[in-house]
């Protein structure tokens, strides 16, 4: 394996945009026409900076730079970039809602080397750790074989309306988890690196929260009501 996973950063966006364009025009070519792909790039296939800000988007870094990406979301949107979004993407409730799997793209020169599967595995561990027990996604026909191979089931096949008269066929897929999170000891080194970065981020957020809590209402000093 000559690539490794890490969390995406805002500075990756230009490289991610280029990767998405390359991946769509190459790996989706057997499934969608040139016109469909051209109309979907932007509204459907794009970077969602909210996932990067949430720490739920991964990149695979290979010899030549970013060679894969994909993530999950604790927010309502199923697909699309953030550019046309008006307002906040609402948070999901892990106890009642299904987490989302979002925006997987592999560089055509790096396809079928396990990058998509490794990113999905890192997402599933993070989804379980966040308390979700179900995942839902809208998959492209190009993505369907990956998700089927990872235990996702087809729920519905429908045509997504694009700009103009174009439509594209997509598949709503779901997975229900019955197992607790896997031990990181069984994961590949790249996935471990991504997960420990995630744990570091959570620890930093907790430390910030504690600082804030202590400065506004020290623990144990709240008067009884
Ligand atoms: C879908 C996509 C991300 C898969 O990425 P990848 O890194 O090549 O996937 P992996 O190498 O991890 O594949 C894992 C398994 O998924 C299945 N799979 C993946 N691509 C497949 C294909 N084109 N045909 C058949 N099976 C496929 C296989 O079972 C594969 O295991 P194998 O190679 O040992 O047979 C990639 O094809 C892509 O970027 N497609 C274009 C963009 C897109 O449509 N993304 C999906 C958005 S929902």
The predicted-structure confidence for 68-102, as pLDDT tens digits, reads as follows 999 999 999 999 999 888 899 999 999 999 999 99
Using CA atoms, how far residue 194 sits from 6, 116, 154, in Å, is: 5, 14, 29
> Over the chain, what is the mean pLDDT?
86
Q: Is 121 in the pocket of ligand 1 (CB under 6 A)?
A: no
15-37 residues labelled b (16+ CB within 10 A) or e (exposed): bbbebbbebbebbbeeebeeebb
Q: If you average pLDDT over residues 142-165, what whole number do you get?
A: 96
**Å from CA of 204 to ligand 1 middle:** 34
Assigned domain for 86 exists: yes
Specify the pTM: 0.84
Assigned domain for 93 exists: yes
Number of folded domains that form the chain: 1
What three-state secondary structure class fits 99? strand
Assigned domain for 74 exists: yes
Assigned domain for 224 exists: no
Assigned domain for 223 exists: no
Q: Residue 88 sits in which domain range?
A: 3-216
DSSP state of 184: G
Query: The domain spanning residue 67 has which CATH number?
Result: 3.40.630.30
**Å from CA of 111 to ligand 1 middle:** 7
Assigned domain for 157 exists: yes
Assigned domain for 168 exists: yes
**Å from CA of 47 to ligand 1 middle:** 19
Using CA atoms, how far residue 189 sits from 59, 96, 177, 180, 196, in Å, is: 14, 33, 23, 20, 11
First to last CA, the chain: 59
Assigned domain for 141 exists: yes
């Amino acid at each position: 394996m000559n690539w490794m996973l890490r969390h995406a950063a805002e500075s990756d966006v230009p490289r991610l945009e280029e990767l998405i364009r390359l991946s769509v025009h190459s790996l989706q070519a057997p499934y969608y026409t040139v016109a469909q792909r051209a109309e979907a790039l932007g509204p459907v296939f794009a970077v969602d900076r909210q996932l990067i800000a949430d720490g739920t988007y991964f990149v695979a870094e290979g010899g030549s730079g970013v060679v894969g990406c994909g993530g999950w979301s604790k927010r309502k949107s199923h697909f699309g970039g953030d550019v046309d979004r008006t307002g906040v993407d609402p948070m999901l409730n892990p106890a009642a809602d299904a987490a989302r799997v979002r925006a997987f793209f592999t560089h055509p020169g790096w396809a079928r080397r396990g990058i998509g599967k490794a990113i999905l595995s890192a997402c599933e561990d993070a989804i379980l750790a966040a308390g979700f027990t179900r995942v839902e996604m809208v998959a492209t026909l190009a993505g369907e074989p990956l998700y089927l191979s990872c235990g996702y089931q087809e729920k519905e096949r429908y045509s997504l309306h694009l700009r103009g008269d174009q439509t594209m066929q997509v598949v709503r897929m779901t997975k229900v988890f019955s197992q607790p999170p896997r031990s990181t000891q069984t994961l590949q080194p790249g996935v471990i690196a991504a997960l420990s970065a995630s744990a570091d981020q959570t620890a930093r957020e907790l430390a910030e929260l504690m600082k804030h809590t202590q400065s506004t209402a020290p623990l144990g000093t709240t008067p009884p009501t």
